[in-house]
Amino acid sequence: MTEGNFVDYVKVHVTSGNGGKGSTHLRREKFVAKGGPDGGDGGRGGHVIVQGKKNHWTLLHYKYQRHFKGGHGEHGGKQRSTGANGADVYLEVPLGTVVRDTQTNQQLFEITEDGEEKIIVEGGLGGRGNWHFKSAVNQTPRYAQQGLPGVEKQITLELKVLADVGLVGFPNAGKSTLLSVITSAKPKIADYEFTTLKPNLGIVEYRDFKSFVVADIPGIIEGAAEGKGLGHYFLRHIERNAILLFLVPADSKDITEEYTILLNELRRYNPELLDKQRLLAISKCDLLDDELMQEMNTLLKAELQGVNFIFISSVAQKGIQQLKDKLWVLLND
């Protein structure tokens, strides 16, 4: 899937159907001149329903169609026959989609399971037919209820990528390169910042036909938690990852400082993100000789007390299998 086809945020206008009118029919048959009221109820209007689909990975299908409307309920008929309900409209979304009220930004619900259904707006109720209103005083009511109108709402569909491992790092830290090495994904790779503007997913093949999913999250910059750059659009994808794999390049001016900045951005955006399992990978270690790597290893152990880290090189294929092993252990811990 190309970057332009990954849509993870759309605003949609939904309207449920109107309820059908109740019937004012009076029974008339041969030899029955005044049979009394027998008008049926109107059918309800169609709902607009969000449905989870595991084979959807993006909201691309809502990029150009933004208006959805349920069918109107049919009017009641004679012999107390109820009108047909209006057709329901289903919005199929990927798992991990959050639905919000656009005006209030309130989260309405979240779709996390295949086949899960939630009604956004309910169809209007059908009106009652005139037979409901007969009484000893009024035996032939010639009136019935109108159906209730449908409901309009503006909603926002927001996809948060579901993956086992999320790659977290500054722009140009080597996340896309790592994803291309450990999976069959082919993300855009270039020597400039913000090459990745949309999350990329890849499946890592592990031993004994086991596998797990890795998401390449667009690079985070300092101030992302306050919305700097496209911080909020990037950070929300991290919320659905079981493990956070931090990538800091070996040629960084201060590895500990970069790691701390990344942690602070996550804490300011959502403190619960720090409860996830974490692993720090020092990328581009092919730039270091053995002596320098040993010195850096000793220094980082002292500075990053208790932080689990590993040296890797995507280009030179160093530490890649060890990285997979560590991630697998964390996933099954």
Dihedral angle of Cα 210, 216, 221, 226, to the nearest 10 degrees: -90
User: What pLDDT does residue 147 have?
Assistant: 95
* CATH 2.70.210.12 domain locations along the chain: 1-159
3-state secondary structure of 155: strand
User: What pLDDT does residue 52 have?
Assistant: 94
User: What pLDDT does residue 186 have?
Assistant: 58
DSSP 85: P
User: What pLDDT does residue 228 have?
Assistant: 45
Is residue 88 within 8 A of residue 73, CB to CB? The reply is no
**Does the domain formed by 163-331 have CATH 3.40.50.300?**
yes
Q: Which residues pair with 203 in a beta bridge?
A: 213
User: What pLDDT does residue 25 have?
Assistant: 92
DSSP 288: S
User: What pLDDT does residue 303 have?
Assistant: 85
CATH class of segment(s) 1-159: mainly beta
User: What pLDDT does residue 123 have?
Assistant: 97
Give the pLDDT of the chain (333 residues) as one tens digit per residue.
444 456 778 999 999 999 999 999 998 887 777 788 999 999 999 999 999 998 887 888 898 899 999 999 999 999 999 999 999 999 999 888 999 999 998 999 999 899 999 999 999 999 999 999 999 889 889 999 999 999 999 999 988 776 788 888 887 777 888 888 887 655 444 443 444 456 677 788 888 888 888 888 776 655 444 444 444 556 777 777 888 899 888 888 888 888 888 888 888 878 888 888 889 999 888 888 888 888 888 888 888 887 888 998 888 888 889 999 999 998 887
**Cβ atoms < 10 Å from Cβ of 168:** 29
Is residue 12 within 8 A of residue 121, CB to CB? The reply is no
User: What pLDDT does residue 118 have?
Assistant: 96
The torsion angles phi and psi of 232, rounded to 5 degrees, stand at -65, -35
Residue 238 CA to residue 246 CA, distance in Å, equals 11
Residue 256 CA to residue 240 CA, distance in Å, equals 25
CA 306 to chain centre: 33
Residue located via tokens 């493990």: 243
- Give, in degrees to the nearest 5, the angle at Cα 252 between 175 and 176: 10
DSSP 196: -
pTM: 0.68
For residue 52, what are its two tokens?
Answer: 């989870």
**Cβ atoms < 10 Å from Cβ of 277:** 16
The amino acid that residue 63 corresponds to is: K
User: What pLDDT does residue 7 have?
Assistant: 74
**Cβ atoms < 10 Å from Cβ of 205:** 12
* CATH 3.40.50.300 domain locations along the chain: 163-331
CB-based contacts of 127: which residues, under 8 Å, 6+ apart? Answer: 19, 20, 21, 22, 41, 42, 76, 144, 145, 146, 147, 148
